[in-house]
Structure 1
């Protein structure tokens, strides 16, 4: 029997509609999909939008395809939720041993394993419906990511840098936007993908600082533990690679000065995060992690403005 819904988890957005307005029976499932933590789907969505905007720059279009961008939004919410549900199914025993995660719906008993599996299938069907709206090459590209997604939850058990595998999955949208626009992949999209991977590793290392003590006790591996006292240097290296690969992507796509100005602002934001890292401040780490949404939107807005002004 499923138990009554529990209060929101420590890293959830306070007063989110999912905790205030959704029917009580649905709230545990919404928490399972991390709906009350929208930063996750934002971070999955942004590489999709970057890629679509980069494709528009390369093709000389005034903006990224709005229909594709809406589909990416729906797909990001659905597949982020599916990924979190799958991750919680795999990690349900580990989650009981970590302070921040033991209140999640599965380890706390708010949702049964059977209910979680059914919910996972439902979210995957929504993601599939979105994917089938694209061209054949993009559909195949989307399916190619599933193996990486399936592998990720197991990596923290034996690989010191599971964030790399997370990056391979979460940055996949950097390929999808280009694939939906052109029906193929080329060097600018690959460079953007590599930069996005480094970005994911950097910001998720910051996120992992919240759990570093529990992870050490339980034996969960993470880049935050791997970098140790040099975590600021490790994140700085990841973010430096992010900017380098994105500069390459912009050059290959023939981006202009406004896009590069946006990239400079994005780089400054990443630098600000590095300066603010404090291994002992879990709440501060969460704020820095969440700030990557704003950094990503700055970059997307600059590319979009560049395309629009070129079309005038």
Structure 2
């Protein structure tokens, strides 16, 4: 599969470009970015071509991987799908329901494959755990904590100055990760029961799930580094089950996501983390954001 990369920021540089370059079944054709010089530098580093015209890149590839802010991603994903490109997207799919639905519609109309990269869903240990717990059933409640330290005083993260993360906060950055773990185990969220702010950009959510369980989520990018974690705990008829940690990093996980895109393109069978699932996550985040905004008025 011939694939191009949209984006030149830290995530594109440290995760996407290495994953595409190393994958045995992908031909890394080129890079397009909103900053021409950055696209050239990234392309030179990985021995590929920098494109000035994104439509020219679409014409030269079978698929695109996207490492851009969600609002920019949604617009370009629609254009790429209409050009016949399969889509390896990042979370969140979009920041409005309308943007996300436009991507879903474009994917369906063009008949292309789509995969949204929720990191935990493409780590073998965590994906196996999710599958096992979904099969067990009988869960009563769950608690997920995704605590990052991007905005902590001791942070040296290259993502700390990301404008969209500064604007949208933890709900939109790490919230999708937590939802990607809980929804396949507990069922869809029938509603967001409550959403409350905490320190910094911290958000606390309570969800009511279709399977009958409730869950609580604590999300933050403002935690001290020593408090950072990505954790989930289930409690139910089978007892207690805790999300395992993985030894693999984002490059390997993106490689697995590329495998999923290849399989979906070859078979025509949608992956569980396709654009439609990404859109459902967006809808839940929009509902939670509305409750937060209402509480602040």
The answer to whether the superposition gives a TM-score over 0.5 is: no
More helix, by proportion = 1
Please report the TM-score for the alignment, with normalisation by the length of structure 1: 0.31
Please report the TM-score for the alignment, with normalisation by the length of structure 2: 0.32
More strand, by proportion = 2
